[in-house]
Structure 1
């Protein structure tokens, strides 16, 4: 009798319906990967066969569509790879990038699993749970001032003839420009750079604070074409801001400065100091860097996301909550920074939708239903045949 074949068909068809139903149920689950049922026939030496079995439920890791959310902490992987999480001491992997920051300062998913990364953006070593420090950013003293300008070649040399430089007397210098600098406590000062033409193609540079007596920093030398040929004393000079703070050891970088027969013109200006600041927000950029934004306008890379790849992603074990775990079939994870090697790139402000094709799944559902019904019909026919045999007298 073929009851065993029909029963195996019912069991297999029921599993197939479960898989399809699970796909349909998760068609709106971010990062979900659809499954499909693989069947195998059963013979074991039987002439007519013993029915069918479920060989495996295979996961399909094709990418889903990316949907913009506008949230700084929502990310999606464009390409291959998985985000790496620490979930209660177990390492799990997911394509769901709906992230938040918990009360303890860790970046987590909806289940509380902590996202891992390379601390301070230093790729390599063991990944760690990404922690956002609540403390502010300490002040940093200015160590370098950069400027690019044109010094008017037609300017006459300043012949002091024993008259000393005087910051309050514009006849003792040729040109000035201003820059804000910071001491080690984050106090800002208005500093003035004084340029004095002292000879053919030679200029003296001084630095002063708030109109006070300026200290000599160094000299600029230009060639016959008005291009900067050399500097002296600008790589390191001491500047005293006063106020009881440590004197600043500064460098003045004037690369690109020219001496042409045009008006004085400052085209670029910058310095590397800043005052203290508090954390006002975090974001994840397209390089996978978790960036802290501070009230003083500074940004800092706190960590870089880890992207994990596997030799056989279909061998990963689903553990629920949009996550998978490593198995011997999947192989060990190959981890790295986004966009490096096999790792996909990170898209910020978007999430990856489920890769379930709902139309296809509904068609498969109809086919699976017909398959189930056909197997029930087989049992019905076998029952009728058996009843006929029983009724023989």
Structure 2
């Protein structure tokens, strides 16, 4: 009986050596999770036990340390959750966030598994799908709103419109002018010039032209209070309309002068913003902390192209390993729970970082020595049993 007990010990010790050796071999594998062998005695009611067996190889899903790489397509999970991939017809899960962008716009890992998530603007209400970065350009958007804030010099002389008609070429026919940019429906940049004419105490005519062609219909009025602030109720300005030509649609935008003042100091432009832009080609892809895939374009604009889906499990230790640093769900793990980074049980995402293996190399080397001693001790048991058997055979 002693031989079978020692052999079971050898088998269990060999399995333990395999587990420790695998941990050491993967100590530099990104997103790797170490394992540990759990033993159980074998007992059938006899006076002596029947040996030992490996009851389970338990995976350790504690977090590894995050290391900065500076690479745009590297992504680490700080907390719970797994990346969800489609590999062929199978859904697999991994903590390895080393992605590359294929020629057709898919985000893949080194094994060719494609990252999945939710389409832009859908959120968790949609069905996860393979994420693909569109290769097309961002379309142009015509300007529809302009916000400008000026200071108009209160000491300026009044100009009588009855005797001095407006003429863009005559600087004496207006008090102050400033130039900005607007975009038509084709993304063509247009020069927007705003002319201010002081026509009375606390009263200014405001006139807007496009590309140096004043349109007399685009005229408004600004009225100020005695303390220099804008009297919104008495002022009359708002929507302006132009025909840019060149095949573009009519350009209509609102002009907001909120914050404009009339003080006794020099003319000044405090702020000028508008919401239009020209078309732009995709120049790069980045991630943010909630898993949005951000497309950056040559027009200096960016937009969300999709959102990475994270998965978690009621019992992650029940996941089945399938190699290539990936797992699949099993009956023991339960079904995957899907969500977004930073919500509930899902950790945040750290762009430009990777999660190192959670293997403590020093601890594993100590475990290796212990496992080696355990193996040697079981070989010694076999040796002793052999000597005892030889003594029994040699009895006279």
Q: For this structure pair, what is the TM-score category when the shorter chain's length is used for normalisation?
A: over 0.9
Whether the 8 Å contact between 1:72 and 1:282 is mirrored in structure 2 is yes
- In the TM superposition, 1:154-303 aligns within 5 A as 154-161=155-162, 163-214=164-215, 215-230=217-232, 234-303=237-306
Confirm or deny: 8 A CA contact 2:319 2:332 kept in the other structure: yes
TM-score when normalising by structure 2: 0.94
Query: What SS does the aligned partner of 2:231 have?
Result: strand
Q: Which residue of 2 aligns with 1:16?
A: 16
How many pairs were matched up?
393
Deviations, residues 323-380 of structure 1 (Å, cap 9, x unaligned): 1111222222222222122211111111111111111111100100100111111111
Say whether 1:132 aligns with 2:133.
yes
Alpha-carbon distance in structure 2 between the residues aligned to 1:375 and 1:160: 109
Contact 2:97 2:354 in 1 (8 A): yes
| 270-279 or 210-219, larger mean C-alpha shift | 210-219
d(CA) in 2 for partners of 1:203, 1:294: 40
Which range moved further: 218-227 or 351-360? 218-227
Q: Against the structure 1 CA distance between its residues 230 and 60, is the aligned structure 2 distance closer, same or farther, given a 3 Å change threshold?
A: same
Work out the CA distance in 1 between the residues paired with 2:91 and 2:201.
69
Q: CA deviation at 1:235?
A: 4.2
Equivalence for 2:384: 381
Aligned residue for 1:229, secondary structure, equals: coil
Q: Are 2:194 and 2:209, in contact at CA under 8 Å, matched by a contact in 1? A: yes
1:81 is displaced (CA, Å) by 1.2
Partner Cα separation in structure 2 for residue 201 and residue 330 of structure 1: 74
CA contact (8 A) 2:222 2:236 kept: no
151-160 or 314-323, which deviates more = 151-160
2:78 corresponds in structure 1 to: 78
**C-alpha distance 233-45 of structure 1, shift in aligned 2 (>3 A):** farther
Are the equivalent residues in 2 in contact too, given 1:168–1:211 (CA < 8 A)?
no
Q: State the alpha-carbon separation in 2 of the partners of residues 217 and 132 from structure 1.
A: 45
Pairwise CA distance, 1:15: 0.8
Q: Give the distance between the partners of 1:18 and 1:277, measured in 2 at CA.
A: 54
Cα RMSD between the aligned structures?
A: 1.8
Alpha-carbon distance, 1:203 to partner: 2.9
Query: What's the CA shift for 1:37?
Result: 0.7
Aligned partners of 1:217 and 1:233 also within 8 Å: no
**CA distance in 2: counterparts of 1:310 and 1:192, whole angstroms:** 60
For structure 1, the residue ranges without an aligned partner over 5 or more in a row are: none
Gaps of 5+ in 2: none
The TM-score normalised by the length of structure 1 is 0.94
Assess if the C-alpha contact under 8 Å between 1:121 and 1:289 holds in 2. no
Change (3 A) 1:103 1:211: closer
Q: Does 1:312 align with 2:315?
A: yes
Q: Relative to 1, partners in 2 of residues 1:222 and 1:312: Cα closer, same or farther, differing over 3 Å?
A: farther
How far does residue 38 in structure 1 lie from its aligned partner after superposition?
A: 0.9
1:348 to 346, 351, 373: 351
Q: 255-264 or 80-89: which moved more?
A: 255-264
What secondary structure does 1:178 align onto? Answer: strand
User: After superposition, what is the alpha-carbon deviation per residue over 1:281-324, rounded to whole angstroms, capped at 9, x for unaligned?
Assistant: 11223332211111121112111211222222212111111111
Q: Which residue in 2 is equivalent to 1:48?
A: 48
**Is residue 108 of structure 1 aligned with residue 108 of structure 2?**
yes
Q: Alignment partner of 2:262: what SS?
A: coil
Stretch deviating more after TM superposition (236-245 or 364-373): 236-245
> What is the rounded CA distance, in whole Å, between the counterparts of 2:109 and 2:182 in structure 1?
42
Matched, 1:98 2:98: yes
Greater shift, 55-64 or 331-340, is seen at 331-340
Q: CA deviation at 1:277?
A: 1.7
What is the Cα deviation at residue 234 of structure 1?
4.3
SS at 1:5's partner residue? helix
How far off is 1:18 after superposition? 0.5
Give the whole-Å Cα distance in 1 for the aligned partners of 2:230 and 2:41: 83
Whole-angstrom distance in 1 between the partners of 2:257 and 2:42: 82
Q: Alpha carbons of 1:43 and 1:134: their partners in 2 closer, same or farther (altered >3 Å)?
A: same
Distance in 1 (CA, whole Å) between partners of 2:265 and 2:362 is 71
